[in-house]
């Protein structure tokens, strides 16, 4: 792993990704542990991919690694794919392939702010923001020698 001093833009983009991932982590824990909303099976899969992102970013900052975003990309893309699938099921655009548990169905509406903000929508928003910021950072780092 190479140790390179990052430029300010990529540091801020990485910091934004860290804040988004921490918000998603604490939000999911708040919904399940404080509000007692049982997470569905697809929510658990999304958690599996969002939780390591904050740790990877923190470690990347600590070691001043230029490869941090390369390690984040698979977690973001797989989590985004699961989140897209979850939203398609939740909004009844497609039928569920495997049934979720009866105690926590994937289509249960546990939260609805302003008539449209739901837990699956919050999840997909987080993964989309992470994907955009990750792509921007990778693009900037790939053009570093040309700028």
Within a domain: 24: yes
pLDDT at position 3 is 46
- Read off the CATH number of the domain in which 16 is found: 1.20.1550
Residue 79, CB half-sphere, CA atoms under 13 Å: how many?
28
Within a domain: 52: yes
Each of the 147 residues of the chain gets a pLDDT tens digit; together they read 444 455 688 889 999 999 999 999 999 899 888 988 777 788 888 999 999 999 999 998 888 777 888 899 999 999 999 999 888 887 878 777 666 666 655 555 666 667 667 777 889 999 999 999 999 988 988 877 554
Query: Could you tell me the residue range of the domain that residue 137 belongs to?
Result: 8-142
Within a domain: 147: no
Contact call for residues 79 and 125 (beta carbons, < 8 A): no
For the chain, what is the domain count? 1
Residues in Cβ contact with 3 at an 8 Å cutoff, skipping those fewer than 6 apart: 63, 64, 65, 66
Contact call for residues 14 and 68 (beta carbons, < 8 A): yes
């Amino acid at each position: 792993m190479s140790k390179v001093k990052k430029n300010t833009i990529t540091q801020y983009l990485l910091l934004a990704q860290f804040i988004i991932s921490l918000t998603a982590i604490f939000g999911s824990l708040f919904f399940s542990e404080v509000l007692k909303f049982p997470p569905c099976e697809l929510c658990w899969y999304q958690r599996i991919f969002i939780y390591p992102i904050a740790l990877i970013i923190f470690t990347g900052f600590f070691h001043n690694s230029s490869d941090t975003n390369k390690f984040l990309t698979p977690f973001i893309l797989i989590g985004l794919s699961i989140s897209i699938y979850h939203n398609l099921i939740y909004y009844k655009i497609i039928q569920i392939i495997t049934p979720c548990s009866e105690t926590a169905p994937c289509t249960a509406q546990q939260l609805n702010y302003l008539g449209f903000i739901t837990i699956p929508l919050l999840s997909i928003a987080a993964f989309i923001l992470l994907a955009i910021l990750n792509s921007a950072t990778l693009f900037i780092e790939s053009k570093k020698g040309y700028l």
